[in-house]
Amino acid sequence: MSEADEVSIRAEARAWLEANWNPDVDLVEWRKKLADTGWGVPTWPKEWYGRGLSAVQGAVVEAEFRRIGAVGVAKTGIRMLAAATLFDHGSQLHKRKFLHRILTGEDIWCQLFSEPGSGSDMAAASTRADLKDGKWIVNGQKLWTTSAQHAQYGLLLARTDWNVPKHRGLSYFIIDMKQPGITVQALAQMNHHASFNQVFFTDAVIEPEFLVGKLGEGWKVATTTLMHERRSAADGISSWGQESGRVGRAYDQERAEIATVMEPYKWYPQRAGRVDLVVERAQATGKNTDPVVRQEIAKLLTLHRTGQWISSRARAAQQMGRTPGPEGSLGKLVASHVARAAANVHTLISGADAMLTGEDSPLNGVIAEILVSTPATSIAGGTDEIQRNIIAERVLGMPKEPGLDADRPFKDVPRNIVS
Amino acid sequence: MKFCFTDEQEQFRTVLRRFFVEKSPATEVRRLMATDTGWERATWKQLNKELGLSAVHIPETYGGQGFGFVELGIVLEEMGRALLCAPYFSSVVLAATAILNAGTEQQKQARLPGIAAGDTIATLAFTEDNGAWDSAGIEMVATPAGGGYRLDGVKSFVLDGHTADLIVVLARQPGSSGDDGLSLFTVAGDAPGLARQLLKTADMTRKQGRLKFQSVQAELLGEAGGAAAPFARTLDQAAACLANEMVGGAEKLRESAVDYAKMRVQFGRSIASFQAIKHKCADMLVDVELAKSAAYYAAEAAAANDPDLPAIASLAKACTADAYMQTAIHTIQIHGGIGFTWDNDSHLWFKRAKSSEVLLGGPHYHRELLMRRWNV
């Protein structure tokens, strides 16, 4: 982008925002305006609520939004993954029906991929969609579904053909969540939170036009969604929302929207182990004088620091335009090691108090929450074992373990053994 | 803090790696480690004539190349990878750095050009029979005599101590203790009253000597009674260097383990396809990459004169030592029975991992230092 280009885009965005932004506007009305003028998602195509700008130009517009304090389009939850998937694989009808209300925040979306019987092996999904009288009839169960209780629509991966190998029998649908055939139940976790849902389908109905991509190509479409998920995870959810002090109806409405979406993630800092608390806790309890505890603290801080340095190396290499080395693939596994080591150290420091929970536990329950939340780190988003397979196969070039499911019809593949 | 090598530094590494692959294959390592000297002047001369390696971090005013600890770290990483048998750590890392930190201008002018050119092999003698790695363990006494000093006592675990031309010695004033009364001295390798004995080391690629001083004439290096600070600084810089040497060896082992696993077939398939092996290899990669991050950061901290260097050096020493040892253990395990044999090269690096784990203080020692240095 030339400098003149940047100046003119900045000036145009600024003029438009100054003429139109008002903090007391109704959020949905404002976002409709953003969608209709293209200023809300300037990098999207012109025919779909955008202005066809490049990423760099889009960043200039975004900076103007921040400068003036204007609320942007809705970005919470998986709505942007849904939008990205529809851009890649959706029909004109899908884009016309869904994109606008994704941007205004009127519709919340959820992702219906994982199942009780298919965790790490997501392509082994056994929720079925059968075509009856021209409609898809869905039966089965999904799990780990964030925001299912709020969602109007779900991105569903379901099996439409049982006579072909697992990856080839899946199809991808948009399903209306507000229908009698769907029951959503919160799933209680071992740490007293219930961040996710189980979703039960009993003859739930999908109109035929809400198949996304071709029949039997659901795995390919789901891979797109997951690719966008990894990319947006890198952007971080902390960038959502405005500072808390701002006054105005639109701000209040945005804060409420974010609070609803963020509620399930309240315990996530504890899940990572809260290394930041270790030294002050050790000093406050006097455990910093115990040589055994000191060794464990040193190991933890070393792991934590070197983990950060690995990420810094990966970022620096990327900025230098170097071929990515192995250091970019190790973060997830390192985070698990850190969380485990941190839970161990917090236990050492807390001594008998580590048996307590809630307000009887140190720091009004924060320590207890660390101890019962860290096991999620080595499971969620890909278990340590799967991470190791990925590292061994993709970074070290080691061969895959021979599989028993790849070449046979899914109906003949062994499933969970229930006695 | 920089987290990426420059293009020039990467090219330097490439040149070094090629050089060491040619000059220090395992057969050459085995030939040299079987000798009492442990290294050969011809190779050493070539190293310094062609690549100027012993001059890398010595300033140009003292006949050096004037690079810093990052470049020195690269040299050490590549030497550690190749398990090069040479008096580099003793002469360049320990002795030259000690002289840079402690010597007077005149002494630096006199001593450093010889080391930089590779003509003088020097070493630093500080550890004694008690095996302590800090000044608290120093018992050797320096008594003023005539214009100079007389040294009496024993130094042990001295790298290349039996062959060095010049020995930098740490000793104390009679009756002093701890950091007080410490001074550094220089002594010629063939000084009268100095008895040098080669120690039998498990790691045959890095020779150590036990040096007995009886009324040995010594020249004071720097300020009398003021060696504690320059000595401590030398140890921190040396720990950062050793960390870099260790990650070179660790990465080499990790690569050899993965290569072997890919080649080896059992139960009708490559053992690299078994998750038990793959997961071990993935863990090795994580360990080595974490350790590399620590070593590189420590080299940057040394180069930048970072006030946190003492803590970072200890962090890096502990972290890389654990990673190197663990990688060596996994490597032998992945090789199976053959990995335990003399003919297989794994044990050469395994033994270097073990000696490096202990040298300059083991992981527990450095973790405790780290806690003190971070005021925990």
Residue by residue, DSSP assigns B170-186 as EEE-TT--TTTTEEEEE
Residue from the list A299, A337, A391 with its beta carbon closest to the beta carbon of B282: A391
CB B149 within 8 A of CB B185: yes
Residue in A173, A147, A36 with CA at minimum distance from that of residue A101? A36
Q: Chain A: give the shortest CA distance to residue B243, in Å.
A: 13
Q: What is the distance between the alpha carbons of residues B209 and B199, in angstroms, rounded to a whole number?
A: 5
The answer as to whether A403 is a domain residue is no
**Residues forming beta bridges with residue A140, ordered by sequence position:** A201
The answer as to whether A79 is a domain residue is no
User: What's the confidence (pLDDT) of residue A268?
Assistant: 94
Mutate to test the interface with A, among B367, B369, B372, B374 (most CBs of A within 10 A): B367
Question: Strand, coil or helix: what is A204?
Answer: strand
Do A63 and A109 share a structural domain?
Answer: no
Residue from the list A310, A313, A392 with its beta carbon closest to the beta carbon of B281: A392
pLDDT surpassing 90 at residue B255:
yes
The answer as to whether A240 is a domain residue is no
B231 falls in which pLDDT band (50, 70, 90)? Answer: very high
Residue of B nearest to A284 (CA): B376
Residue from the list B278, B368, B371 with its beta carbon closest to the beta carbon of A388: B278
pLDDT in tens, A293-313: 999 999 999 999 999 999 999
User: What's the confidence (pLDDT) of residue A229?
Assistant: 81
User: CA separation (Å) from A153 to A2, A109, A398, B332?
Assistant: 41, 5, 40, 54
Question: Where would I find the H helices in B87-227?
Answer: 88, 97-102, 105-117
Residue A409 burial class via C-beta count within 10 angstroms: exposed 0-12, middle 13-18, buried 19 and up: middle
Q: What is the distance between the alpha carbons of residues A258 and A74, in angstroms, rounded to a whole number?
A: 9
Q: Which residues of A touch B262 (CB under 8 A)?
A: 397-399
CB B244 within 8 A of CB B80: yes
A402 touches chain B (CB under 8 A): yes
Do A349 and A274 share a structural domain?
Answer: yes
**Strand A109-112 with A153-159, pairing:** parallel
Do A98 and A158 share a structural domain?
Answer: yes
Q: Which residues of B touch A312 (CB under 8 A)?
A: 1, 3, 293
Written as one letter, the residue type at B71 is E
B277 touches chain A (CB under 8 A): yes
Q: What is the distance between the alpha carbons of residues A139 and A300, in angstroms, rounded to a whole number?
A: 47
The answer as to whether A137 is a domain residue is yes
CB A184 within 8 A of CB A154: no
**Residues forming beta bridges with residue B217, ordered by sequence position:** B150
Do A114 and A62 share a structural domain?
Answer: no
CB contact under 8 A, B285 and A330: yes
Written as one letter, the residue type at A93 is L
- CATH code for the domain in which residue A323 is found: 1.20.140.10
User: What's the confidence (pLDDT) of residue A236?
Assistant: 45
Residue from the list B282, B318, B376 with its beta carbon closest to the beta carbon of A388: B282
For residue A277, what are its two tokens? 């608390």
CB B245 within 8 A of CB B89: yes
The count of other CB atoms within 10 Å of the CB of residue A299 is 19
The answer as to whether A216 is a domain residue is yes
Mutate to test the interface with A, among B253, B266, B293 (most CBs of A within 10 A): B293
A305 touches chain B (CB under 8 A): yes
Residue of B nearest to A402 (CA): B273
CATH topology of domain B229-373: Butyryl-CoA Dehydrogenase, subunit A; domain 3 (1.20.140)
For residue A306, what are its two tokens? 């070197």
A318 touches chain B (CB under 8 A): no
Residue B95 burial class via C-beta count within 10 angstroms: exposed 0-12, middle 13-18, buried 19 and up: buried
Q: Chain A: give the shortest CA distance to residue B208, in Å.
A: 30
The answer as to whether A300 is a domain residue is yes
Question: Strand, coil or helix: what is B34?
Answer: coil
Q: What is the distance between the alpha carbons of residues A140 and A113, in angstroms, rounded to a whole number?
A: 12
Residue of A nearest to B270 (CA): A399
User: CA separation (Å) from B149 to B104, B108, B128, B142, B146?
Assistant: 17, 19, 19, 6, 7
Residue B179 burial class via C-beta count within 10 angstroms: exposed 0-12, middle 13-18, buried 19 and up: middle
Q: Which residues of A touch B281 (CB under 8 A)?
A: 392, 396, 398
User: CA separation (Å) from A400 to A393, B260, B266, B274, B314?
Assistant: 7, 16, 15, 8, 39
A159 touches chain B (CB under 8 A): no
Report the interhelical angle of A331-350 vs A366-373 (nearest 10°).
130
Q: Which residues have CB under 8 Å from B341's CB, separation 6+?
A: none
Where do the DSSP E strands lie in A357-419?
none
Mutate to test the interface with B, among A388, A393, A401 (most CBs of B within 10 A): A388
Do A119 and A68 share a structural domain?
Answer: no
CB contact under 8 A, A315 and B3: yes
pLDDT in tens, B36-82: 999 999 889 988 989 999 999 999 999 999 999 999 999 999 999 99
Over residues B361-371, the mean pLDDT reads 98
For residue A268, what are its two tokens? 């996530």
B75 touches chain A (CB under 8 A): no
Q: Which residues of A touch B275 (CB under 8 A)?
A: 385, 388-389, 401
Question: Strand, coil or helix: what is A1?
Answer: coil
- With tokens 């999620």, the residue in question is A376
E strand or H helix that includes residue A153 = strand A153-159
Window B:121-180, CB contacts with A under 8 Å: none
CB B194 within 8 A of CB B207: no
The interface predicted TM-score (ipTM) is 0.96
Q: Which residues of A touch B286 (CB under 8 A)?
A: 330, 333-334, 337, 391
CB contact under 8 A, A306 and B286: no
CB contact under 8 A, A388 and B367: no
The number of residues making up chain A comes to 419
Q: Which residues of A touch B269 (CB under 8 A)?
A: 399, 402
Report the interhelical angle of A331-350 vs A278-285 (nearest 10°).
10
| Every domain of chain B and the residues it spans | 7-120, 123-225, 229-373
CB contact under 8 A, B273 and A400: yes
- With tokens 């990467």, the residue in question is B10
CB contact under 8 A, B272 and A398: yes
Residue from the list A315, A316, A326 with its beta carbon closest to the beta carbon of B285: A326
Q: Determine phi and psi for A160, rounding to 5 degrees.
A: -115, -10
The number of residues making up chain B comes to 376
B276 touches chain A (CB under 8 A): no
**Strand A196-206 with A135-145, pairing:** antiparallel
User: Residues of A90-109 as b/e, b for ≥16 C-beta within 10 angstroms?
Assistant: beeebbebbbbbbbbbebbb
CB contact under 8 A, A302 and B286: no
Q: What is the distance between the alpha carbons of residues B46 and B54, in angstroms, rounded to a whole number?
A: 11
Q: What is the distance between the alpha carbons of residues B363 and A252, in angstroms, rounded to a whole number?
A: 53
Question: Where would I find the H helices in A21-155?
Answer: 27-37, 55-68, 79-89, 92-104
Q: How many domains does chain A have?
A: 3
**Strand B148-159 with B208-221, pairing:** antiparallel
Q: Which residues of B touch A395 (CB under 8 A)?
A: 282, 285
A394 touches chain B (CB under 8 A): no
Residue from the list B278, B289, B319 with its beta carbon closest to the beta carbon of A327: B289
Question: Strand, coil or helix: what is B371?
Answer: helix
Q: What is the distance between the alpha carbons of residues B177 and B112, in angstroms, rounded to a whole number?
A: 30
Do A228 and A289 share a structural domain?
Answer: no
Q: Any long-range contacts for A416-419 (C-beta under 8 Å, 24+ apart)?
A: A416/A117
What CATH number does domain B7-120 carry, 3.40.1350.10, 1.10.540.10, 3.40.50.11140, 1.10.10.10? 1.10.540.10
Do A360 and A272 share a structural domain?
Answer: yes
Residue from the list B270, B274, B286 with its beta carbon closest to the beta carbon of A333: B286
Do A225 and A116 share a structural domain?
Answer: yes
- CATH code for the domain in which residue A115 is found: 2.40.110.10
User: Residues of B49-84 as b/e, b for ≥16 C-beta within 10 angstroms?
Assistant: eebbbbbbbbbeebbbbebbbbbbbbbbbbbbbbbb
pLDDT in tens, B133-159: 999 999 999 999 988 999 999 999 999
Which range (A2-6, A85-89, B194-198, B224-228) has the least confidence? Answer: A2-6
Question: Strand, coil or helix: what is A133?
Answer: coil
CB contact under 8 A, B376 and A330: no
Q: What is the distance between the alpha carbons of residues A349 and A366, in angstroms, rounded to a whole number?
A: 14
pLDDT tens over chain A, length 419 residues: 577 788 999 999 999 999 999 999 999 999 999 999 999 999 999 999 999 999 999 999 999 999 999 999 999 889 999 999 999 999 999 999 999 999 999 999 999 999 999 999 999 999 999 999 999 999 999 999 999 999 999 999 999 999 999 999 999 999 999 999 999 999 999 999 999 999 999 999 999 999 999 999 999 999 999 888 877 665 544 444 556 678 999 999 999 998 888 888 899 999 999 999 999 999 999 999 999 999 999 999 999 999 999 999 999 998 888 887 787 789 999 999 999 999 999 999 999 999 999 999 999 999 999 999 999 999 998 899 999 999 999 999 999 998 889 889 999 999 888 76
Radius of gyration from C-alpha coordinates of chain B: 21
Q: What is the distance between the alpha carbons of residues B62 and B55, in angstroms, rounded to a whole number?
A: 9
CATH number assigned to the domain covering B123-225: 2.40.110.10
CB contact under 8 A, A322 and B319: no
E strand or H helix that includes residue A137 = strand A135-145
Do A302 and A192 share a structural domain?
Answer: no
CB contact under 8 A, A291 and B278: no
**Residues forming beta bridges with residue A182, ordered by sequence position:** A201
Q: Which residues of B touch A288 (CB under 8 A)?
A: 371, 376
CB contact under 8 A, B371 and A298: yes
Residue A371: CA atoms inside 13 Å, Cβ hemisphere, count? 21
Q: What is the distance between the alpha carbons of residues B164 and B186, in angstroms, rounded to a whole number?
A: 12
Q: Which residues of A touch B274 (CB under 8 A)?
A: 401
Q: What is the distance between the alpha carbons of residues A361 and B366, in angstroms, rounded to a whole number?
A: 33
B255 touches chain A (CB under 8 A): no
Do A185 and A131 share a structural domain?
Answer: yes
The answer as to whether A214 is a domain residue is yes
Residue from the list B2, B3, B315 with its beta carbon closest to the beta carbon of A305: B315
Mutate to test the interface with A, among B286, B306, B330, B364 (most CBs of A within 10 A): B286
Q: Which residues of B touch A294 (CB under 8 A)?
A: 367-368, 371, 376
The percent of chain B in helix, strand and coil, each rounded to the nearest 5, is 55, 15, 30
Q: What is the distance between the alpha carbons of residues A242 and A67, in angstroms, rounded to a whole number?
A: 11
- With tokens 């230092």, the residue in question is B369
User: What's the confidence (pLDDT) of residue A416?
Assistant: 86
CB B64 within 8 A of CB B55: yes
Residue in B96, B113, B14 with CA at minimum distance from that of residue B60? B113
- The conformation of residue A132, written as its DSSP 8-state character, comes to E
CB A205 within 8 A of CB A138: yes
Q: Determine phi and psi for A221, rounding to 5 degrees.
A: -65, -45
How many cross-chain Cβ pairs, A to B, lie less than 8 Å apart? 131
A163 touches chain B (CB under 8 A): no
Do A191 and A153 share a structural domain?
Answer: yes
Domain with A178 in it: 92-235
B306 touches chain A (CB under 8 A): no
A366 touches chain B (CB under 8 A): no
